[in-house]
Structure 1
Amino acid sequence: MILTPIPAADLPTAIAGFAAALSGHATALGAFRRIADTWPVRHGVDTPAQRADGVALAHAHGIGTLDEKPSASFMWDGSVIRTDVEATVIVHEVAHWLCAAPERRGLLEYGLGPGPETTLRAEARGQQALTFEQCMHEEQQTSLLGILWEAELGHPAILAFLEQNWMEGWERPTTTRFFIDHVETLHTAGLIDADGRPATVRTWADERRRRRRAA
């Protein structure tokens, strides 16, 4: 939920101001420009093609999927992502898998405890492996990585960026500092490159080429 909506007419000013505050932080600026370039929205929101992109992105990383609503049990049950959800949620779940330590990928909801879609909450709680603070940090990292993947796919990443409150109080130095810190953490972890692109873009591109040849 957006805490303080930015009117569409004011968004170009906010984007320009946010970008200006990132001067001197090349990776953060590159990442932000990729996100900002998805405004205005050109190709619709949560389209069948975007959902298919999310599923293909999961498969490109060797992640299993199941066309079922997460309300049946879990978003991630240690084996598959449930994909009868919005496209942005599918991409977010791929980012969760990428951010999770390998030893937690086999746990319910990545060992983070129940998420908003989880219905078997006690079971997910029973496999929670991180503290609340650690969960929140990983959720923030996942949020940003998922948004950068949306930008890479040509999805309306700016909408997720706003929805997940990365531009809340965009005029404040603390807002851009928060963004810079998370970009730098993703870069240090090898999850994005120095230009702010997801580090496994080649994996996705190779899978896309394979699918096109097979079609």
Structure 2
Amino acid sequence: MILTPIALPDLPTALEQFDLCLDDQPLAQKAFRRIAATLAHVEDETLELSQNPRHQAEAVALIRTFGMGVLEQPPTSGYTWDGQAVAVQMEPSVIIHEIGHLQVCAPERRTALDFGLGAGPETGCRSEADQAMTVHGVEREMEEALASLQGILWEAEVNQPAILAFLEQNWLEGGANTQNKAHFVKIVTHLHRFGLLDDHGRPTRALREADDATFLTPLCGG
């Protein structure tokens, strides 16, 4: 949920300021510009996540290309990801977010309930998902951030209004301040380092192969 809502008339200025702060970070700026450009696809002035049936169908088709199964039910009926399939009766951007999770999680957790990160906001079987959690604390937060940005960049890649998830997941919270810039740059750099983003800031179809000690610990300062 967005912490500090931004009105649509104020959004272009906020995006321009964040773009300017990335002038010395060309890869991060390229990735950001791909997201910011999707403002042209926004159909709802409330800036709420898309409910467009066409976006939903496109999102489902996209996850299938990654070999993810589809459950025609809401995640509140079970899990968002049951280890094999995504419960797809939810917003298109949340469906695509699960691709981000698939790509950035450790190989041994790809078949774990909710990727071994504990219950997501939409998951119904919360205690069971939490019992399957194997990543905690700062490491869990970092993996969530990686999956978040990867999913948002996939939305941009398929011409969906990625800017809405960018706002809803609070990537613009703090605007162009040093801390927010550093966090964005760090996540982009890490995704690129492991081949999940190309040199143009576009998502690749790679899946992470590194274990948590190699992939998450350096990112968390360990």
Settle same-fold status: TM greater than 0.5: yes
Query: Does residue 93 of structure 1 match 2:113?
Result: no
Contact in 1 for aligned 2:83/2:114 (Cα 8 Å): yes
1:142 aligns with 2:147: yes
Output the CA distance in 1 between the equivalents of 2:53 and 2:130. 33
Quote the residue 1:128 is aligned against.
133
Please give the secondary structure, in 2, of the residue aligned with 1:81: strand
Q: How many positions carry a matched residue from both structures?
A: 201
**Within the alignment, does 1:41 sit opposite 2:46 as a pair?**
no
Q: Secondary structure at the match of 1:14?
A: helix
Kindly state the Cα deviation for residue 189 of structure 1 after the two structures are TM-superposed: 1.6
Counterpart in the other structure of 2:19: 19
What residue number does 2:86 align with?
A: 81
User: Aligned letter for 2:179?
Assistant: T
Write the mapping of 1:62-81 to structure 2, written as runs, cut at 5 A.
Answer: 62-81=67-86
> Are the equivalent residues in 2 in contact too, given 1:46–1:88 (CA < 8 A)?
no
Q: Which runs of 5+ in 2 are unaligned?
A: 45-49, 207-222
- Which residue in 2 is equivalent to 1:161? 166
The amino acid that maps onto 2:103 is L
Unaligned ranges ≥5, structure 1: 202-215
Shift of 1:63: 1.0
CA distance in 1 between counterparts of 2:152 and 2:8 reads: 19
CA distance in 2, matches of 1:12, 1:200: 30
User: In the alignment, which of 152, 157, 163 is matched to residue 157 of structure 2?
Assistant: 152
Pairwise CA distance, 1:161? 0.6
Whether the aligned pair in 1 keeps the contact of 2:41 and 2:159 (CA below 8 Å) is no
Q: Percent of aligned positions with the same letter in both sequences?
A: 44
8 Å CA contact 1:43–1:155 kept in 2: the answer is no
The match for 2:189 among 184, 187, 190 is 184
Calculate the TM-score normalised by the size of structure 2: 0.86
SS in 2 for 1:39: helix
> Is the partner of 1:2 in helix, strand or coil?
coil
**CA root-mean-square deviation:** 1.4
Q: d(CA) in 2 for partners of 1:117 and 1:77?
A: 13
How many angstroms apart in 2 are the aligned matches of 1:43 and 1:60?
A: 27
Paired position in structure 1 for 2:215: none
Find the residue that maps to 1:65 and give its secondary structure: strand
CA apart distance, 1:176: 1.1
Of the candidates 121, 124, 135, which is equivalent to residue 119 of structure 1? Answer: 124
Instruction: Please give the TM-score of this superposition, normalised by the length of structure 1.
Output: 0.89
CA distance in 2, matches of 1:161, 1:125: 26
Opposite residue 143 of structure 1, the aligned amino acid is S
* Offset of residue 40 of structure 1: 3.2
TM-superposed CA distance for 1:43, in Å, is 5.8
Q: Between Structure 1 and Structure 2, which shows a larger proportion of helix residues?
A: 1
3-state DSSP of counterpart to 2:189: helix
Q: 1:164-175 to 2 correspondence within 5 Å?
A: 164-175=169-180
Q: CA offset at residue 136 of structure 1?
A: 0.8
The whole-number CA distance in structure 2 between the counterparts of 1:141 and 1:42 is 24
2:55 aligns to what? 50
**Cα drift, residue 24 of structure 1:** 2.0
Q: Which moved more, 1:40-49 or 1:91-100?
A: 40-49
